[in-house]
């Protein structure tokens, strides 16, 4: 997409008006407050009525050594007056707070894009840390971009001088100075920011005033500097949205809220057992504050205790929920098997990150699909749902609660590091628009002659939920194979065959209780289907939209229920000549589709810890259809060196 | 126990606590005696089967819930304390008993045992210690004595054994007791554990007649038991061997010592009086080497503190005071804007 920030028209105008959408990336030291700056810029963008998507990209180290390449923290936002589904392939503007931030991010910038750098940080020492022999500002290496280099550090110190802060504290206001400049560049109201600063520093008004002064100084600098040089003010119009109340939401927030809603719709108190792990912890942080909704949170001693306590709570009649990321999910595997065997409701959330092992704790990946669907000992099926965006995670969390309680089964909800941290505008839903699914407990004996049958299945194959504490309903459950209906220990051959089949049939049967798979964009048959799941939704959607606008016969099918799959999916897929499955792993969903439907699904894979770019998927569409990639559409954005090129997996 | 205030006793008999399930322990296993002791205790404490939950892990001992006519959850190896925590937090009204063994509770589940005790969840945790892995056919366990020969230690085990009661005290337990399978005193120990509000840890020596037969006979055999068993009673002098011996404090070495008691004058011999709230003495009692000393049995330590679930419930209550569970309000919390045909920030 074209940049709004150039004096001259963009070299590859994609046909949009110049102010349709803008991508800005803030990058600095992990201690520079870039995530905070980005978060506040996001809020101001949302309040201005733009559609947006963000991509926080930060190192695993909390405070990596200052000035180092590996310590750079970045926040990218794509906002515009049209539908925005991704954080943008390549930034139009890069704000680099030090040489390391410049070095690690500049190659992502579009040709002709604008670089704003703080020369105050371009010291000999910092240049050395960033492995620059000569300052890039002086050696002409940045000539394909426009560079705005000035001493933000000095300007900040000057702005906050009246408040008598120490040098270190004063320099901490740099991010607010930068934010002030960004607010000016995009014609934004400063009031929400000053309100926020006053609230944040309520106990230290001097700091609030200093930060506001820095913000105002950055804003004033923009006004003054506009007269000369590349800095221009731009107005990005509000997007056309459905009327209603909006807010921004991250995936972690949406899941937390969805769980609260799900528990309410089920009419249950919720128990959340968790153990700190990146990037899943935010859900526990949120839920601990919602006590009035009947939520008990428990920070367990480990991942295993977290899920076991949640199963214990489900056994006792609450909605048990646990959450983790890949390594923690691996530890929970045995307990999931017990929940499957004892047929208790449970919601398990996996905020996926790069693996295996510790892998990439703060980066995103979709490589836990096999783990979710298959990753337990024995024949241990459980339903798996995948959220496609932060706001979609709300509905998915409700759906997970519904299936868990209606079918008496653990359900896994997959999100990933990208969805968990990214923010987007969200039309606040009306809780009344969701159909309640109240649970009932069995309180009287259900067999003939007053016999109690804890494992007597209903038409869905679900067993009754009996709470301990119910008089005259005492019974024992456990992980050992059990007799039909009575649940007594029984591992005779016929019983295990029957129960294995029954557990499988129950989970397979979930497919008849979920919506049929729809074509997300395009037609119900044709030359090419792009089949995705999870957070690849945004880039796939944009790429398919771009290709269809160009006249290519390509459709998007995005699957929420990845296990069991929607009942019509096989027939739907057979209506296309080709099937391409982009995913951030080595081709896991592709294999599932091949296995289930014997269709010739092809993989498009990426495991760099970065989301797909639109261009990457668009290029794959063109290749699959034999259409030229270069041209009016799609060729304007090349995959850059900070986003490693996709590896096209060789089909096994 | 569920409450500080006495609750109405639910009338049951021992028979009411027996299930119709065939008991599958080896004939002669110590677990039978423990099962009977527990079934005998339940009517005496007035327990309601519908409000009682037995939670276990994996191992011979962990089959226990199937034989108790109450609610029961046979879970996975070592994790019973974690399940119990969820059960109790979800419904503090339930009376939760954990059944575990030396492998389940001290090895694979040692972590959970520690955290349950330090949090002080109100429950009873019965650790059946037979110093061997029974269900997996006789490998040495974390409580096996050095030199135990087994399929995995044909040359004798070389690792030093864990002391469950010392582990429990070290983990912050506020109730620690010991008994053994065939002891007539076991129900009274269980009753004391149940009366304690908080996590009550009971180590029960249990004879595995197949893989570790009679390993506790040195002190558990009836013959000469008086000389080898020190039954602790709160407020009573620590005497044994029919009152002819006692435990005194060696003030110089700051250790316990065995002294002779003449003509029942334990005071003259310097025998100390058992105070179940004395944590320092409790540490010494659980560490007493058997041989030079008798085996300390009964309630070793009992000094309640506020429980975990009570603190959690209180935080839940305080956090909810004056707040309505208004989902619509929660969803629209924070900075919002309205789109009504024209765009503006709100």
Please tell me whether residues B215 and B96 are part of one structural domain. yes
Region B139-166: what's the mean pLDDT?
Answer: 97
DSSP B321: T
B267 plus B295 within the same structural domain: no
Instruction: Find the residue in A nearest to B338 (Cα).
Output: A245
Q: H/E element holding A255? A: helix A251-266
pLDDT at B341: 59
Whether chain A has a CB inside 8 Å of the CB on B11: the answer is: no
B119 and B49 in a common domain: yes
- Shared-domain flag, residues B163 and B264: no
Q: Note whether B222 and B302 are same-domain residues.
A: yes
Residue B1 lies in a domain: no
Domain assignment present for residue B331? The answer is no
User: In this structure, is residue B321 part of a structural domain?
Assistant: no
Which parts of chain A sit beneath pLDDT 50?
1-18, 631-652
Provide the number of structural domains found in chain B. Answer: 2
pLDDT digits (tens, 9 = 90+) for A545-554: 999 999 999 9
Q: Are residues B170 and B145 in the same domain?
A: yes
Residue B63, SS3? helix
State the nearest Cα–Cα gap between A239 and chain B, in angstroms: 8
User: In the prediction, which pLDDT does B336 show?
Assistant: 84
- Residues on chain A touching B19 (C-beta within 8 angstroms): 476
Quick one: pLDDT at residue A651? Answer: 27
B119 part of a folded domain: yes
- Quick one: pLDDT at residue A63? 75
What is the Cα B128 distance to its own chain's centre?
Answer: 9
Average pLDDT, chain B: 95
Residue B321 has pLDDT above 50, yes or no: yes
pLDDT over 50 (residue B295): yes
- Residue A229 has a pLDDT of 67
Asked if residues A388 and A537 have their Cβ atoms less than 8 Å apart, the reply is yes
pTM for the complete prediction?
0.91
Which of A308, A311, A433, A449 is the mutation pick for testing B, counting most B CBs within 10 A? A308
Query: Last residue of a domain, which of B222, B250, B273?
Result: B273
B7 located within any domain: no
pLDDT in the model for residue A640? 40
For residue B333, the chain A residue with the least C-alpha distance is: A247
> Given this model, what pLDDT does residue A238 score?
86
In a domain, B24, yes or no: yes
Query: What pLDDT is stored for residue A82 in this prediction?
Result: 87
pLDDT reported for residue A563: 98
CA distance A472 to chain B (A): 7
| Final residue in a domain of this structure, among B224, B245, B273 | B273
Last residue of one domain, picked from the residues B246, B273, B300 = B273
B243: left (phi over 0), alpha (psi -120 to 50) or beta: left
Same domain? B85 vs B203: yes
Token pair for residue A486?
Answer: 């009575």
Q: How far apart are CA B64 and CA B61, in angstroms?
A: 6
CB pairs A-B closer than 8 Å: 208
Helix (H), strand (E) at residue A149: strand A146-150
Q: Which residue of A has its CA nearest to B22?
A: A489
The answer to whether position B333 is within a domain reads: no
| B210 and B220, same domain (yes or no) | yes
If asked whether residues B260 and B202 sit together in one domain, one would say no
Structural domain boundaries, residue B170: 14-236+274-310
Q: Minimal CA–CA distance to A601: which of A565, A628, A633, A635?
A: A565
Torsion of CA A470, A471, A473, A475, to 10 degrees: 80
CATH number for the domain that contains residue B42 = 3.40.50.970
Contact A292 B325 (CB under 8 A): yes
Q: What is the pLDDT of residue B220?
A: 96
List the beta bridge partners of residue A54. A77
B337 Cβ under 8 Å from any chain A Cβ:
yes
Examine the domain organization and report whether B175 and B148 are in the same domain. yes
**Would you say residue B334 lies in a domain?**
no
Q: Quick one: B131 and B26 in the same domain?
A: yes
Please check the confidence at residue B3 and state whether its pLDDT lies above 70: no
Average pLDDT over residues B85-102: 98
Do A189 and A48 touch, CB atoms closer than 8 A?
A: yes
Regarding whether B247 and B227 lie in a shared domain, the answer is: no
Among residues A477, A452, A321, A294, the alpha carbon closest in space to that of B53 is found at: A477
ipTM above 0.90, yes or no: yes
pLDDT digits (tens, 9 = 90+) for B105-141: 999 999 999 999 999 999 999 999 999 999 999 999 9
B72 interfaces chain A, CB cutoff of 8 Å: yes
pLDDT for residue B4: 52
pLDDT band at B7 (very low <50, low <70, confident <90, very high): low
Best residue in B49, B50, B339 for a mutation probing chain A (most A CBs within 10 Å): B339
Residue A32 has what pLDDT? Answer: 87
């Amino acid at each position: 997409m074209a940049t709004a920030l150039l004096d001259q028209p963009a070299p590859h105008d994609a046909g949009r008006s110049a102010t349709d959408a803008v991508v800005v990336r803030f990058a600095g030291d992990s201690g520079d407050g870039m995530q905070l700056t980005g978060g506040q810029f996001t809020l101001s963008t949302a309040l201005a009525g733009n559609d947006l998507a963000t991509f926080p990209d930060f190192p695993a180290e909390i405070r990596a050594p200052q000035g180092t390449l590996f310590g750079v923290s970045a926040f990218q936002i794509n906002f515009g007056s049209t539908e925005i589904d991704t954080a943008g392939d390549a930034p139009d503007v890069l704000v680099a707070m030090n040489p390391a931030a410049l070095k690690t991010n500049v190659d992502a910038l579009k040709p002709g894009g604008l670089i704003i750098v703080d020369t105050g940080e371009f010291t000999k020492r910092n240049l050395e840390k960033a492995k620059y022999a000569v300052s890039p500002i002086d050696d002409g290496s940045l000539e394909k971009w426009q560079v705005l280099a000035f001493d933000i550090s000095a300007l900040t110190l000057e702005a906050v001088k009246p408040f008598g802060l120490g040098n270190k504290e004063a320099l901490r206001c740099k991010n607010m100075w930068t934010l002030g400049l960004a607010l000016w560049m995009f014609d934004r109201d400063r009031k929400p920011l000053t309100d926020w600063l006053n609230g944040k520093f309520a106990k230290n008004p001097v700091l609030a005033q200093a930060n506001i002064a820095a913000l105002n100084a950055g804003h004033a600098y923009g006004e003054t500097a506009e007269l000369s040089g590349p800095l221009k003010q731009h107005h990005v119009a509000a997007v056309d949205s459905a009327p209603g109340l909006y807010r921004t939401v991250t995936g972690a927030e949406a899941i937390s809220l969805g769980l609260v809603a799900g528990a309410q719709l089920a009419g249950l108190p919720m128990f959340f057992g968790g153990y700190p792990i990146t990037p899943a912890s935010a859900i526990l942080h949120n839920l601990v504050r919602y006590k009035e909704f009947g939520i008990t949170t428990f920070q367990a001693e480990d991942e295993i205790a977290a899920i076991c306590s949640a199963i214990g709570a489900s056994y006792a009649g609450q909605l048990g929920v646990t959450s983790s990321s890949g390594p923690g999910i691996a530890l929970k595997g045995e307990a999931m098997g017990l929940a499957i065997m004892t047929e208790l409701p449970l919601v398990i959330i996996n905020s996926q990150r790069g693996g295996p092992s510790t892998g990439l704790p703060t980066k995103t990946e979709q490589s836990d699909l096999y783990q979710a669907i298959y990753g337990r000992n024995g024949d241990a099926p459980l339903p798996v749902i995948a959220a496609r965006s932060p706001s979609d995670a709300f509905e998915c969390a409700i759906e997970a609660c519904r299936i868990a309680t209606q079918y008496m089964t653990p359900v896994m909800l997959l999100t990933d590091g990208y969805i968990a941290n990214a923010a987007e505008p969200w039309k606040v839903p009306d809780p009344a628009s969701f159909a309640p699914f109240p649970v009932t407990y069995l309180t009287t004996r259900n067999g003939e002659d007053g016999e109690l049958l804890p494992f007597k299945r209903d038409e869905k194959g679900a067993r009754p939920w009996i709470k301990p504490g119910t008089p005259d309903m005492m019974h024992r459950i456990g992980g050992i194979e059990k007799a039909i209906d009575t649940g007594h220990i029984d591992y005779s051959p016929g019983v295990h065959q029957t129960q294995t089949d029954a557990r499988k049939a129950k989970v397979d049967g979930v497919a008849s209780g979920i919506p049929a798979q729809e074509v997300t964009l395009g037609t119900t048959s044709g030359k090419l289907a792009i089949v995705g799941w999870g957070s690849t939704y945004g880039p796939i959607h944009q790429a398919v939209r771009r290709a269809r606008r160009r006249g290519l016969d390509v459709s998007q099918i995005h699957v929420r229920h990845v296990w069991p799959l929607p009942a019509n999916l096989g027939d739907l897929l057979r209506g296309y000549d080709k099937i391409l499955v982009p995913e951030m792993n080595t081709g896991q969903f592709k294999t599932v589709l091949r296995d289930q439907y014997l269709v010739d699904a092809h993989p498009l894979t990426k495991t760099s810890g970065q989301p797909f770019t639109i261009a990457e998927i668009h290029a794959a569409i063109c290749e699959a259809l034999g259409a030229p990639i270069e041209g009016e559409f799609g060729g304007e954005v090349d995959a850059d060196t900070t986003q490693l090129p996709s590896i096209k997996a060789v089909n096994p | 126990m569920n409450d500080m205030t006495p609750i109405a006793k639910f009338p049951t008999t021992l028979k009411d606590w027996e299930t119709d399930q065939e008991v599958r322990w080896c004939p002669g296993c110590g677990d039978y005696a423990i099962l009977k002791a527990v079934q005998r205790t339940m009517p005496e404490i007035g327990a309601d089967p519908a409000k009682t939950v037995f939670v276990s892990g994996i191992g011979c001992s962990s089959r226990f819930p199937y034989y108790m006519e109450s609610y029961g959850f046979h879970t996975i190896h070592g994790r019973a304390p974690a399940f119990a925590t969820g059960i109790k937090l979800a419904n503090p009204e339930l009376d939760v008993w954990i059944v575990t063994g030396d492998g389940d509770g001290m090895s694979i589940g040692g972590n959970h045992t520690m955290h349950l005790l330090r949090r002080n969840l109100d429950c009873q945790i019965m650790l059946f210690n037979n110093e061997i892995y029974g269900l997996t056919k006789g490998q040495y366990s974390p409580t096996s004595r050095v030199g135990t020969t087994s399929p995995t230690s044909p040359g004798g085990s070389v690792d030093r054994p864990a002391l469950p009661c010392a582990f429990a005290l070290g983990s912050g337990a506020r109730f620690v007791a010991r008994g053994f399978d065939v002891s007539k005193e076991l129900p009274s120990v269980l009753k004391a554990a149940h009366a304690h509000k908080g996590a009550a840890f009971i180590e029960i020596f249990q004879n595995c007649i197949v893989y570790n037969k009679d390993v506790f006979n040195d002190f558990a055999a009836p013959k000469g038991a008086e000389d080898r068993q020190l039954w602790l009673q709160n407020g009573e002098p620590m005497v044994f061997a029919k009152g002819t011996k006692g435990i005194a404090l060696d003030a110089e070495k700051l250790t316990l010592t065995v002294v002779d008691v003449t003509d029942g004058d334990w005071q003259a011999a310097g025998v100390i009086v058992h105070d179940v709230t004395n944590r320092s003495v409790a540490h010494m009692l659980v560490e007493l080497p058997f041989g030079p000393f008798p085996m300390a049995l009964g309630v070793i330590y009992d000094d309640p503190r506020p429980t975990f679930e009570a603190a959690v419930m209180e935080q839940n209550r305080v956090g909810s005071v004056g707040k309505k569970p208004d989902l619509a309000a929660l969803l629209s919390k924070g900075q919002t804007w309205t789109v009504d045909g024209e765009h503006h920030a709100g």
